[in-house]
Amino acid sequence: MRVSVSQTIRVGVFLFLLGSLRGPSAPAGPAARGSLLVITVDTLRADYVTTYDPRRGATRHMDRIGQTGYVFERAFAHTPLTLPSHTSIFTGLPPTDHGVHDNAGFRVRDDLVTMAEWLKQYGYATAAFIGAFPLDKRFGLAQGFDVYDQQYAARSPHRIFFAERKAEAVVDAALAWLARQTGDRPWFLWVHLFDPHQPYDPPAAYRTGRWAQDLYGGEVAYTDDQVGRLLDELRRRRWWDRTVVVLTADHGESLGEHGEPTHGLFAYNATLHVPLLVHRPGVQGTRRVTWPVSHSDLFPTIGGLLGLPVPKTVRGRNLAPFLEDPQGRPPEATPIYIEALAAYLNRNWAPVVGVIDRGMKFIDTPIPELYDLQKDFHELTNLAPRSDLTPYRRTLQAFLRPDRLPRPTPETAETLEILRSLGYSAGGPGLPRKKTFTPDDDPKRLVEVHRMFLSALELHERGRSREAIDLLKQVITKRRDMVVAYTNLVIMYRDIGDTRNAILAAQAGLRAAPESPELLSQLGQALVEAGYFEDGIRTLRQAAERQATDPDVWNYLGFAYWRTDRFQPALEAFQRALRLTDADPLIYNNLGNLYLSMKRYADAEQAFRKALQLDPGLAAAYNGYAAARLAQGAWEDAYQAWQKALAADPDYAMAHYNLGVELYRRGRKQEARPHLIRYLELMGAHIPAEEHRKIEQMLRDAS
């Protein structure tokens, strides 16, 4: 049976964007404590929550959380990125301590004590239900969870964005888990809802009326209704009065403020000010908290609310004693560290770091900024030019490590291909790092380049690839050290089948960053797609030496070995890829095709089953599964699988070919005819002349 090359190796993908526990000894049995529900809503601006801004918000369910507890009016994320922010929430540490600074190139260290690990030692059942790929278990936040449910699709239908699943699906899964809890032990449930993140694509009911011109707001309203389902279940099970409920966001969304379309580039309040609502059993009415707090304070504060001592590793403040203080005394003011390092890590632009302290906000860039948040919360008047910045720099320096700024390492950059994004794609350890930065490196002066970069990827998403390529070339002309632009240029060429220019673009990028494992990987993948298997193997092996934990390197190596009939090295490469990630259906699909070639049909069947379990819409896996079942004599199973392949993708040429040929062979020539015709229409000039003549002969026989 025939397998399409383009369907069995990973094509370029764009995504949007820019140890031992050291806590207290575990008790002998389950703790008689209340349960904990933490809801994190990705990319949720505080002013889209009615509690914070009644003019704009429409979040009656989220508001319920703070109606019997606390509304924190000045809650701040340390960083405007998903993985680093959640790491702060669940370790009680700022990024300078937990070491996760971006969505790509970093992983939560095993020696860090997470909230789930901490609660497990007190007898809690623990479960997490995740809405999108940036929090995939491979990045380390699954530590301590009995269940870590991440059943989103392998790829986003919007190719430049993260793979995600709708809030309804996440909540459905969470409610199913709650239904299995009997109440004889406390539980910790984390629900992550990704919907307000771009692309703004709410269900139809949330795209009309007031949301017709504000699809972001529609996403928030839809997410709010799903939050309501969780809260209703707590009341139905009579758990509301013995469950602490926390709702916050990992970061906000700029929506054009300061020239930033989304988030990740700057550290302004549009993306760092987050909602924080806490329901505490026994509290009547809303207590509004006006002192500044950060994500790092959540872990120890939850410990205080549950009456449990937290691990000694936690650095944030326990705010619980101050929330009910009769005199209303605030906790001791402590500086809040902030950063936005994606552009530094990925583009060699100046790093954005700063502090919020005693009502002032200092951002240390080549063009420094200072804002009085009491008078200027939207940061419109920069006081830095007429201020002494020495004390602010001294405060900031206390947070920074001796080497000042981080960089990703080969050991942690596990999924560079999947984490392509608008500004998030890691440059990796091979990116030449500047030691000093000028005002020309300040992101404020490069925001137009940033928008050009985003526009290029959006054009490619809309099928206007040639325009996108031209725009990316302009970006490279303006910033020749912007490795992420070269990387995405290579992927664009690969996506339109122009492997020649993909190879040339990768080579040009490597001249700018000779040690970049990501560009080396891209070059190897392009060579394999062009059919230069030996060159591809050599290049990918070099990439593996620099970036051994990138599963795509091993996946493409396996494919190249398979195509050159070196089945054992191919098998070893695919198995290496699967040790790095067991959640990629394309690798299982490739492994299935290898097993077909090795005539290990039962193994092939199992590999294709696994691919389909991970991605039920993967037409190539149905095609391979059909071939495996047919080889084992199960024609009806094969027939049904080919039908499913075509239901998943009506234009999947290989399923038309295989089904047409097999129907013809079985004498069902009239049924075969439309499949063979469609195969000719889809493949056209790509079909070898001899094969074309054979198909034409079959069609004449069928007529």
CATH of the domain at 305: 3.40.720.10
pLDDT of residue 431: 57
Do 215 and 316 lie in a common domain? yes
Do 424 and 493 lie in a common domain? yes
pLDDT of residue 33: 75
Instruction: Indicate whether 593 belongs to any domain.
Output: no
Do 376 and 464 lie in a common domain? no
Amino acid in the structure at residue 283? V
What is the Cα–Cα distance from 383 to 471, expressed in whole angstroms?
36
Question: Ramachandran region of residue 539, left (φ > 0), alpha (ψ -120 to 50) or beta?
Answer: alpha
Q: Which of 80, 178, 199 minimizes the C-alpha distance to 129?
A: 178
Do 304 and 360 lie in a common domain? no
Per DSSP, the three-state class of 486 is helix
Instruction: Indicate whether 19 belongs to any domain.
Output: no
| Strands lying side by side in the sheet with 243-249 | 147-149, 125-129, 187-193, 35-41, 243-249, 276-279, 68-72, 285-289
Query: pLDDT of 641-672, one tens digit each?
Result: 999 999 999 999 999 999 999 999 999 999 99
Instruction: Indicate whether 52 belongs to any domain.
Output: yes
Which of 551, 566, 583 is the last residue in one of the domains? 583
* CATH number of the domain within which 572 lies: 1.25.40.10
What is the Cα–Cα distance from 658 to 672, expressed in whole angstroms?
10
The alpha carbon of 426 is separated from its chain's Cα centroid by a whole number of angstroms, namely 13
Give yes or no for a contact between 410 and 400, defined as CB atoms under 8 angstroms apart: no
- Across 105-212, where does the E strand assignment appear? 125-129, 147-149, 187-193
Instruction: Indicate whether 149 belongs to any domain.
Output: no
Burial of 427 (C-beta count, 10 Å sphere; 0-12/13-18/19+)? buried
Backbone angles phi, psi at 190, to 5 degrees: -110, 125
CA dihedral sign, ordered 488, 269, 42, 401 = positive
The alpha carbon of 96 is separated from its chain's Cα centroid by a whole number of angstroms, namely 21
CA dihedral sign, ordered 391, 396, 401, 402 = negative
Which of 538, 561, 583 is the last residue in one of the domains? 583
What is the Cα–Cα distance from 679 to 673, expressed in whole angstroms?
10
Give yes or no for a contact between 16 and 421, defined as CB atoms under 8 angstroms apart: yes
Q: Which of 496, 549, 492, 558 minimizes the C-alpha distance to 524?
A: 558
The domain total for the chain is 3
The radius of gyration computed from the CA coordinates of the chain, to the nearest angstrom, equals: 27
pLDDT of residue 24: 33
Q: Which segments in the chain show pLDDT lower than 70?
A: 1-32, 153-162, 401-433
Give yes or no for a contact between 441 and 350, defined as CB atoms under 8 angstroms apart: yes
Instruction: Indicate whether 579 belongs to any domain.
Output: yes
Torsion, CA 99, CA 103, CA 107, CA 113, rounded to 10: 60
Query: Tokens standing for 362?
Result: 């200092």
The domain of 242 spans 35-134+164-322
Question: Ramachandran region of residue 163, left (φ > 0), alpha (ψ -120 to 50) or beta?
Answer: beta
Query: Tokens standing for 619?
Result: 């037409």
Amino acid in the structure at residue 315? R
Q: Which of 136, 71, 86, 151 minimizes the C-alpha distance to 116?
A: 86
Instruction: Indicate whether 576 belongs to any domain.
Output: yes
What is the Cα–Cα distance from 444 to 267, expressed in whole angstroms?
11
Q: Count CA within 13 A, CB hemisphere, residue 703.
A: 9
Do 280 and 360 lie in a common domain? no
Do 90 and 232 lie in a common domain? yes
Do 114 and 215 lie in a common domain? yes
Q: Which of 646, 649, 648 minimizes the C-alpha distance to 660?
A: 646
Which of 537, 558, 583 is the last residue in one of the domains? 583
Instruction: Indicate whether 30 belongs to any domain.
Output: no
Do 391 and 299 lie in a common domain? no
pLDDT of residue 153: 61
Do 448 and 370 lie in a common domain? no
pLDDT of residue 434: 76
CA dihedral sign, ordered 685, 687, 690, 696 = negative
What is the Cα–Cα distance from 247 to 226, expressed in whole angstroms?
13
pLDDT of residue 104: 80
User: Going by C-beta distance under 8 Å and a sequence separation of 6 or more, which residues neighbour residue 297?
Assistant: 92, 316, 317, 318, 319
What is the Cα–Cα distance from 486 to 474, expressed in whole angstroms?
11
Do 422 and 519 lie in a common domain? yes
Instruction: Indicate whether 431 belongs to any domain.
Output: yes
What pTM value is reported for the model?
0.80
What is the Cα–Cα distance from 450 to 471, expressed in whole angstroms?
12
Q: Which of 170, 218, 212, 173 minimizes the C-alpha distance to 198?
A: 218
Do 314 and 356 lie in a common domain? no
Do 255 and 372 lie in a common domain? no
Cis status, amide bond into 261, omega within 30 of 0: no
What is the Cα–Cα distance from 697 to 703, expressed in whole angstroms?
10
User: Going by C-beta distance under 8 Å and a sequence separation of 6 or more, which residues neighbour residue 415?
Assistant: 104, 136, 138, 550, 551, 552, 581
